Structure 1
Amino acid sequence: MVRLELFGGFRVTIGTLVVPDEAWHRRKMAALVKLLCLAPRHRLHRDQITAALWPDLAPAAAAANLRKTVHYVRHMLPEQHYETNPIVADGDVLGLPVEHIWVDVVAFRTQVVQARERRDLEAYAAVVELYRDGLLPDDNDEWTTSHRFDLRWDYVAILEEYAGILEAAGLLEDTARVARTLVGLDPLVESAHVCLMRVLALAGRRAEALRQYEVLRRLLHDELGTEPGPEAQRIHAEVLARQVAEPALTSALWERVGTLRMRSGDPRGAVTAYTSALQRSTGPADEARLHRLLASAHLDRLQVAPAEPHLARAEAMTADPAEATRLARLRAEVDCLNGDLDRALHHALRARELASFDGTADDRARAEETIAMVSHVRGDWRRGLDAELRRTGARLDTDAYAGPFDVHQCIGQFHLYSDELATDVEQYARTTLAHATDAGVVRVQAFAWTLLGESLLLREQFDEAAGCLGQGAELHASLGSTSGALPWQRLAEVAVCQRRPDEVGPALRRASAIATVSPTARHVWQRIHATAAFARLERGEPDLAAQSIRAAAAAAARYGGCPTCGALLHPIAAETYAALGDSEPARAHAAAAARIADRFGGSAWRAMASSAAASAALVEGDPRAAAGAFGAAAAAYERVGHTYWARRCDRQAADAASLADVVP
């Protein structure tokens, strides 16, 4: 096995022999190997290589130089040290012998996927250790720049996630070390400074926390002319007010850590942090609230048994009317998970009633979201939404309903992909639109236009779909709310399907701008990145598509994910990595698609799982199995009326079958 390392500098190890620097007696020898290490499947056409290594030479001269360089690499070492040809040729394509090499950049990207799947400390530590000082830090070749930036972005995202997991686990010194690394990488990233301040305060190192705030304050003032944000100022004020280590301060900070972990889609880390806060709480009100937060974190993981005692304790202890509405909502979630749907609806409605008197705007919004989800599980979501339109009317256009209607859009996705519900989504959307127009409720009109456009998109009625989605986006914008990312994302999808690449970027930028401030970011970011990957894949740019897939994973690690709203991600990701010849992440995404199909069971979910499995089979050299899986995906898509994806899978099945005919 040949070990090829590019992080921290270029090193080649063959077995136990480290190739000395003097063996690369010509600079272009090493450059050729580096270039192939970074290429998709470690293969490039000769013209691509000469364009990168000899951009200023005439084609004939560059080709001659390439032939000489290949010769030098092939004869760099005595034969007894290298049994396999180091540069292999397939016509005009040159490559590395993939079955005999290990490349640290490939291992890094694979381990990033594994760390996010497992979310354990050892996996993150392995990724961080592998990166060292970045990609080829001493090289200035133009072709390394995009790779270096891409890998650095992945590294920063992994460090942020690693710091969050370490912090939630109470490993404060390790968290501070990682946070300092983040600050060193980009001193103007305020979140890294805030994390470092917080863990220093948690560790009782108040003076250091104050100094870090001052470092941040000076940087922002000198470089950007701004002041630190609210979170940094809050921690600074708390530390100033309590120079001695007080349990109340520690409990409050641990509670904040738990809340941050919940927002980033890490309820397991939140449980650890909230438990630490509970152990340091100083009064019954704090204790009751922390029991409620622990119950919420367990329920976010769909774990009723560990949530029950915390919820019961909070119910017994609380005397705060605002807390009562939150507890009623959690009780509705427990009942829903236990299958007692009538009781769940009773508690959800009670939560809304209590919130109307004593809750905050967020409490009222969360109660509405819970009613929507319970109604969805009961099978009467559509009737419930109609009743809500009649009951609430124009009040639905207030900002308080922006979050709940993002949840309604999420439930609408389930209807679009469900066998028994998809057939009449278009009619339901048209009926809802008529009712909302009569009532003059803009938010419901925006919802209905978007759902109608989505239904038409999946059936290949692209022009009408674009018109409906455009109307939905316009109405969302008129509300001035933080919702409305979905119609823009779907407009980008229409542009990809119609092969209008110039329209994809602007639509995704509009969607991203809304997602940045959306309270329900977990529902939209994965869709946005998946659509970007889909567009790049359709343009024949799988390496760029992989960047979007990795960005989707980073977004899920930061904001959490939604299996319904992220439906497109896994089959596109598996196809992307298959195009790159990277079997491990292709299999990982195929497995994720299969888990979602097992959870929801409908034809569309099974189609996505079959499509992802087909891509994994292709990269593993089994085109016959791939053809069968693509065919199964096409049939499943056809059953649910998704004709665009059915035809696309039919073409992929035919391509795989043709390949199977020529493979011995």
Structure 2
Amino acid sequence: MRVSIHLLGRFAVSVDDRPIPAADWRRDRAAALVKLLALKPAHRMHREQAMETFWPDADPEAAGASLRKAVHFARRALGAHDLITISNDVIALAPNAELDIDIEGFEAAAKTALRGSEKSAFERAADLYGGRLLPDDIFVEWLDAPRAQIQQRYSDLLRAGELWQRLIALDPADEQAQCALMQTALDAGSRVEAIRQFNQLRDNLHAELGVGPSAATIALYEKALALSGAETVNPSERIRTSLAWGLVHLQSGEFDKASEIARQTRDLALGADLPREVGEASALLGLASMMQARWPQLFRSEFIEWVRAKPAFVQHVFDGHLCLSEFCLCSAKGHAEVAGLAQELLAVAEEAESSAGRGLACLLLGEAALFSGELDRAEQFLTEAEKLLLAADAVAGRVLAIERLAEIALERGQKWRASRLIQRGLGDAERTWLSPHLIMRMQALAVRAAATPKMVAEEILAGDRLLTPGACQPCSMALRTASAIALAEAGELEQVDRRLNDAERIAGMWQGGPWAAALWEARGVQRRAQDKEVRALAAFEEAASRYEELGRPRDQARCLARMGNHG
């Protein structure tokens, strides 16, 4: 008998060349047992190790019963009793069969290649890497160590073999790989290819969050620009260089210099009619002001100046401030101040006859009303904001208005309406350079709006695929907590702790907003699912208190209702 198991890029099993349908693995723990044994040395382990891995908090009798069920269903899926054996309390996978596991083939080829220097050996080994280890199980904690080990092995292989394109596919923000390809292009006299590589790196470093190329990479880019003479360098290339240097100053703590470069670059982008670069320069300016605790004042002056002087570009300036406005302005206590500022901005926009400005002011007024618990008033402002921003083709602001309208629908229990709004927002989000942020936020609502357990699981999986290393961490918070709550309520507790630990780490880096309260609420749902009612009540009480401090009465009421629902 021959058993083939794929773990890289997907989970698939075949027995004597007969693929086992995915539906046969409907018992998650049966599949997990096969995965665990496939990764163990000699594909065997003591039953107590399996019990500790899968049911660490269960008593031995209950964990033993669960393990027997997992073995039973794994045997049924594999179609043969002796493909999972238990002898002297040791569980073994296919001890008397020919076992072919893709990860072992890759490991052997990688070790051979790394012992030598033959280019073809590196390429052959790299061809055997089918993708990330079990990518649909990214929050399964016992997979962390083997996943990190195999990915590091693959990275070492690519770096040693100078397989730069594959390394960039693994990590688009790997500067060594990008610089190597840029240098190769320059050596071949290909200015265009070197510039393309720089732009690819820049796009993957999230300039809107203050992350840019290093000084050495920028120097290579400038060398590429100089190849054919200064007169042939177009404005967008000059602007990208300037933005990159601005980010270097920001990362070095030279905030005044970064602000100066941001303003100069934005003027250049405005003159060259480059909306995205106007937004990126505004983001750089906003980040520098945030580091100096000046952001709210800057946002007010920016809004008024641009609405009055350059209304056609006001939405692109706002795009640059989007994450900052959501973080600093609309997620903290003091919604009366937010509303007061927005009323002032609305008056300025009406005087200037700016649809985009009016739409953005209505968006802020709608958000302030929503956070204050005034759903009808919020819906009125947000509906007007969506209409005005559609007329102005201000895509990012319009998607944000749709997101908030979907939140209102969920507050009212209208999942069907929320789902329609989410689909509309996701379609529009693809049209803006801020799509990674907006799609992440919409996906959090998609988890909450899913109508059936199957749909919830599908939306959580779709959300997990968005949580790449370069994803915007603040924008990921709602998705992380929504997924954790949905999993806990469904009794799928294995993945919850890891998700909330990640969320707590991010919340610690970005102090402020409703995240600490949301985390306490999610912990309460988790504790209740664990039958730890006293701890659950304490968590809900803490969440309610924090929501009260933030001036979010509806969120506070929800947590108090959770406290009343115990038993």
Interval of TM-score (by shorter of Structure 1 and Structure 2): 0.5 to 0.7
DSSP 3-state at the match of 2:488: helix
Q: What is the aligned partner in structure 1 of residue 375 from structure 2?
A: 462
Instruction: Pick one of 553, 564, 575 that aligns with 2:474.
Output: 564
Cα shift at 1:450 = 1.4
One-letter identity of the residue aligned with 1:268: A
Counterpart-to-counterpart distance in 2, 1:175 and 1:311: 20
One-letter identity of the residue aligned with 2:457: A
One-letter identity of the residue aligned with 1:273: Q
Counterpart-to-counterpart distance in 1, 2:191 and 2:426: 39
Identity of paired residues, percent? 21
Instruction: Pick one of 337, 350, 357 that aligns with 1:444.
Output: 357
Q: Decide whether the 8 Å contact of 1:295 with 1:308 is kept in 2.
A: no
Q: What is the aligned partner in structure 1 of residue 137 from structure 2?
A: 110
Instruction: Pick one of 404, 414, 431 that aligns with 2:344.
Output: 431
1:278 aligns with 2:192: no
Counterpart-to-counterpart distance in 1, 2:411 and 2:480: 18
1:354 aligns with 2:258: no
* CA gap 1:618/1:516 in 2 versus in 1, 3 angstroms: same
Q: Decide whether the 8 Å contact of 1:433 with 1:445 is kept in 2.
A: yes
Q: Decide whether the 8 Å contact of 1:295 with 1:310 is kept in 2.
A: no
* CA gap 1:626/1:273 in 2 versus in 1, 3 angstroms: farther
1:405 aligns with 2:318: yes
1:370 aligns with 2:281: no
Gaps of 5+ in 1: 12-19, 21-29, 42-69, 85-106, 127-161, 177-198, 200-256, 659-664
One-letter identity of the residue aligned with 2:257: R
Cα shift at 1:420 = 5.9
* CA gap 1:356/1:474 in 2 versus in 1, 3 angstroms: closer
1:518 aligns with 2:432: yes
Q: How does 1:291-306 map to 2 (within 5 A)?
A: none
One-letter identity of the residue aligned with 1:307: S
Q: What is the aligned partner in structure 2 of residue 652 from structure 1?
A: 562
Task: State the Cα deviation string for residues 111-135 of structure 1 (Å, max 9, x = none).
Answer: 4777999997866799xxxxxxxxx
* CA gap 1:633/1:489 in 2 versus in 1, 3 angstroms: same
Cα shift at 1:475 = 0.9
Counterpart-to-counterpart distance in 1, 2:330 and 2:523: 19
Task: State the Cα deviation string for residues 597-619 of structure 1 (Å, max 9, x = none).
Answer: 10122262211222233344444
Task: State the Cα deviation string for residues 498-519 of structure 1 (Å, max 9, x = none).
Answer: 1122311221121112012222
Q: What is the aligned partner in structure 1 of residue 514 from structure 2?
A: 604
One-letter identity of the residue aligned with 1:331: W
TM-score, normalized by length of structure 2?
0.66
Counterpart-to-counterpart distance in 2, 1:267 and 1:345: 28
Counterpart-to-counterpart distance in 2, 1:511 and 1:345: 33
Alignment coverage as a number of residue pairs: 457
Cα shift at 1:586 = 0.9
Counterpart-to-counterpart distance in 2, 1:571 and 1:415: 20
Q: What is the aligned partner in structure 1 of residue 420 from structure 2?
A: 506
1:531 aligns with 2:445: yes
DSSP 3-state at the match of 1:310: helix
Cα shift at 1:32 = 12
DSSP 3-state at the match of 1:268: coil
DSSP 3-state at the match of 2:477: coil
Counterpart-to-counterpart distance in 1, 2:144 and 2:351: 48
1:635 aligns with 2:519: no
* CA gap 1:122/1:171 in 2 versus in 1, 3 angstroms: farther
Cα shift at 1:580 = 2.7
Q: Decide whether the 8 Å contact of 1:412 with 1:451 is kept in 2.
A: no
Task: State the Cα deviation string for residues 1-40 of structure 1 (Å, max 9, x = none).
Answer: xxxx9965799xxxxxxxx9xxxxxxxxx9998665599x
Counterpart-to-counterpart distance in 2, 1:504 and 1:296: 31
Cα shift at 1:391 = 3.4
1:485 aligns with 2:399: yes
Instruction: Pick one of 239, 243, 247 that aligns with 1:325.
Output: 239
Q: What is the aligned partner in structure 2 of residue 98 from structure 1?
A: none
Q: Decide whether the 8 Å contact of 2:173 with 2:201 is kept in 1.
A: no
Cα shift at 1:494 = 0.4
Counterpart-to-counterpart distance in 2, 1:360 and 1:603: 32
Counterpart-to-counterpart distance in 2, 1:115 and 1:340: 42
* CA gap 1:295/1:505 in 2 versus in 1, 3 angstroms: closer
Q: What is the aligned partner in structure 1 of residue 461 from structure 2?
A: 550
Q: Decide whether the 8 Å contact of 1:542 with 1:579 is kept in 2.
A: no
Counterpart-to-counterpart distance in 1, 2:399 and 2:420: 12
Counterpart-to-counterpart distance in 2, 1:446 and 1:312: 41
* CA gap 1:423/1:625 in 2 versus in 1, 3 angstroms: farther
Worse-superposed segment, 329-338 or 589-598? 329-338
Task: State the Cα deviation string for residues 160-196 of structure 1 (Å, max 9, x = none).
Answer: xx9xx999979899999xxxxxxxxxxxxxxxxxxxx
One-letter identity of the residue aligned with 1:277: M
* CA gap 1:530/1:607 in 2 versus in 1, 3 angstroms: same
Q: Decide whether the 8 Å contact of 1:168 with 1:273 is kept in 2.
A: no
Cα shift at 1:401 = 5.1
Cα shift at 1:397 = 4.7
Counterpart-to-counterpart distance in 2, 1:351 and 1:445: 26
Q: Decide whether the 8 Å contact of 2:279 with 2:319 is kept in 1.
A: no
Instruction: Pick one of 555, 576, 589 that aligns with 2:499.
Output: 589
Q: What is the aligned partner in structure 2 of residue 380 from structure 1?
A: 294
Cα shift at 1:384 = 2.9
* CA gap 1:402/1:551 in 2 versus in 1, 3 angstroms: farther
DSSP 3-state at the match of 2:186: coil
Task: State the Cα deviation string for residues 234-277 of structure 1 (Å, max 9, x = none).
Answer: xxxxxxxxxxxxxxxxxxxxxxx6xx88xxxx553465234333
Task: State the Cα deviation string for residues 263-303 of structure 1 (Å, max 9, x = none).
Answer: xxx55346523433334423596668867876886685967
One-letter identity of the residue aligned with 2:435: A
Counterpart-to-counterpart distance in 2, 1:509 and 1:32: 28
Q: Decide whether the 8 Å contact of 1:114 with 1:123 is kept in 2.
A: no
Cα shift at 1:638 = 1.2
Cα shift at 1:369 = 3.1
Q: What is the aligned partner in structure 1 of residue 524 from structure 2?
A: 614
Gaps of 5+ in 2: 33-72, 90-133
Cα shift at 1:574 = 0.9
Q: How does 1:182-193 map to 2 (within 5 A)?
A: none
Task: State the Cα deviation string for residues 362-396 of structure 1 (Å, max 9, x = none).
Answer: 43342233223333443333433443344333675
Counterpart-to-counterpart distance in 2, 1:314 and 1:109: 38
* CA gap 1:472/1:113 in 2 versus in 1, 3 angstroms: farther
Q: Decide whether the 8 Å contact of 1:396 with 1:441 is kept in 2.
A: no
One-letter identity of the residue aligned with 1:550: L
Instruction: Pick one of 477, 483, 494 that aligns with 2:408.
Output: 494
One-letter identity of the residue aligned with 1:624: V
One-letter identity of the residue aligned with 1:526: M
Instruction: Pick one of 374, 379, 385 that aligns with 1:472.
Output: 385
Q: Decide whether the 8 Å contact of 1:274 with 1:293 is kept in 2.
A: no
Q: Decide whether the 8 Å contact of 1:603 with 1:637 is kept in 2.
A: no
